[in-house]
């Protein structure tokens, strides 16, 4: 069983695609660490990429077996989905003790194949959920129904935060006994609270830098951030907004910034890797999401000693404690977001205090915490199934 000498556990992780994102990095880190701990680990992924950038090359260098499945795609595609299900069923015939699926689509197909194969332990991490903010109401209702259905063969559903857990209970996805909180761990050794000269990254060194790191997709609320920053500028013309990340909304966002008349005060930095040097130039981190399972970028910002303004949604209240390491604001509300940013910018000493509090709180979300909790979860599931 996991963690015990002499017992090699056969673990299979399944995810739809490996792009730069919290769910994907979480999955890579988990699979790699389990392999380093002596388990026999395979990761199955689709091959789709996007403007976020691909992690396939990085995955090929990790100490687990990587299997690429072109039929495993993110969007609903009946023919490809059926073919992916069949291929997963065949691959699962190689024998696994634990199948751990990640994100919604891979979770549905992977758990179906695992249930048909009679895999002893089936674990699923939604990495948040798609109950709101991603799709049309009709499609969201469909996903809720499917998650309830596929919650039946799942032995455990991994929630990233207590807020994530509450959302799943409220939606009646599965009974509380199946839900467990395991934070999406961040390798804090890659982040430092030291400050960096913004000029090194082409950012203005004489402005208050408000920044964010996210995918440029609707659910991240970036249009709200632009609207809020227009309001902020009326009181704080010394503020400057830096947006790191990429995605399909990039051109629309650039055009919206121009319409708001803030082009000279906003910089779309694009994808940054590593992200720590960018974070070290900032004075304040903002995450305006409409839906967020946990918010790894917030933990990374906290590890760089940054106070945070974030929306009061999903798992973000688990990370940001009001008035301690930042402020929480209403989602989809640019006025409230602007007020939170202005409060955080008002007092340099208060920002410094909140930054120190953030640095301490980041320790609760380290990669070691995640790895140990997953190990304990697998161990308990194996014990319950009598395969320990």
Predicted confidence (pLDDT) per residue in 328-373, tens digit = 999 999 999 999 999 999 999 999 999 999 999 999 999 999 999 9
CB atoms within 10 A of CB 94: 10
Question: Tens digit of pLDDT for each residue in 78-134?
Answer: 999 999 999 999 999 999 999 999 998 999 999 999 999 999 999 999 987 666 555
| pLDDT score for 384 | 87
CATH number of the domain within which 214 lies: 3.40.50.2000
Q: Is the pLDDT of residue 253 over 60?
A: yes
Lowest mean pLDDT among 145-149, 282-286, 348-352: 145-149
Q: Do residues 77 and 194 both lie within one domain?
A: no
Q: Do residues 296 and 253 both lie within one domain?
A: yes
**Number of folded domains in the chain?**
2
Q: Do residues 374 and 307 both lie within one domain?
A: no
Q: Is the pLDDT of residue 52 over 90?
A: no
Which residues are paired to 287 by β-bridges? 310
**107 lies in which domain range?**
10-185+366-384
Q: Do residues 117 and 169 both lie within one domain?
A: yes
Distance CA 18, CA 68 (A): 10
Maximal CA-CA distance, the chain = 65
Q: Is the pLDDT of residue 286 over 70?
A: yes
Q: By the 8 A CB rule, do 2 and 378 touch?
A: yes
CB atoms within 10 A of CB 25: 20
Lookup result for tokens 């970028």: 297
């Amino acid at each position: 069983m996991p963690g015990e000498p002499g017992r090699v556990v056969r673990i299979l992780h399944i995810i739809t695609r490996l792009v730069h994102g919290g769910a994907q990095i979480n999955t890579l880190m988990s699979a790699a660490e389990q392999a380093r701990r002596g388990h026999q680990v395979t990761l199955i992924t689709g091959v789709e990429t996007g403007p976020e950038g691909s992690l396939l090359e990085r995955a090929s260098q990790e100490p687990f077996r990587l299997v690429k499945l072109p039929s495993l795609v993110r969007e609903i595609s009946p023919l490809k989905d059926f073919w992916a299900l069949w291929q997963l069923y065949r691959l699962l015939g190689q024998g696994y003790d634990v199948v751990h699926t990640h994100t919604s689509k891979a979770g549905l197909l992977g758990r179906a194949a695992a249930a048909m194969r009679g895999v002893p332990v089936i674990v699923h991490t939604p990495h948040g959920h798609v109950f709101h903010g991603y799709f049309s109401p009709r499609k969201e209702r469909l996903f809720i129904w499917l998650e309830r259905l596929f919650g039946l063969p799942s032995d455990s559903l991994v929630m990233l935060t207590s807020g994530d857990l509450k959302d799943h209970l409220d939606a009646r996805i599965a009974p509380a006994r199946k839900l467990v909180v395991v934070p999406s761990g961040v390798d804090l050794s890659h982040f430092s609270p030291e400050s960096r000269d913004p000029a090194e990254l082409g950012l203005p060194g004489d402005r208050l830098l408000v920044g964010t790191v996210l995918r440029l997709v609707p659910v991240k609320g970036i249009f709200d951030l632009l609207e809020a920053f227009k309001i902020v500028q009326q009181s704080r013309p010394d503020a400057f907004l830096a947006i790191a990340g990429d995605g399909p909304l990039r051109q629309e966002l650039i055009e919206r910034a121009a319409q708001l008349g803030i082009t000279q005060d906003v910089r779309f930095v694009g994808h940054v890797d590593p992200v720590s040097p960018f974070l070290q130039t900032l004075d304040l981190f903002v995450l305006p999401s409409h839906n967020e399972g946990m918010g790894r970028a917030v933990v990374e910002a906290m590890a760089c000693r940054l106070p945070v303004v974030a929306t009061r949604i999903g798992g973000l209240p688990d990370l940001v404690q009001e008035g301690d390491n930042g402020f929480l604001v209403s989602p989809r509300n640019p006025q409230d977001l602007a007020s939170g940013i202005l409060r955080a910018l008002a007092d340099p000493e208060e920002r410094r205090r909140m930054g120190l509090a953030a640095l301490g709180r980041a320790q609760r979300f380290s990669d070691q915490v995640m790895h140990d909790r997953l190990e304990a979860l697998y161990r308990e599931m194996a014990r319950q199934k009598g395969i320990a």
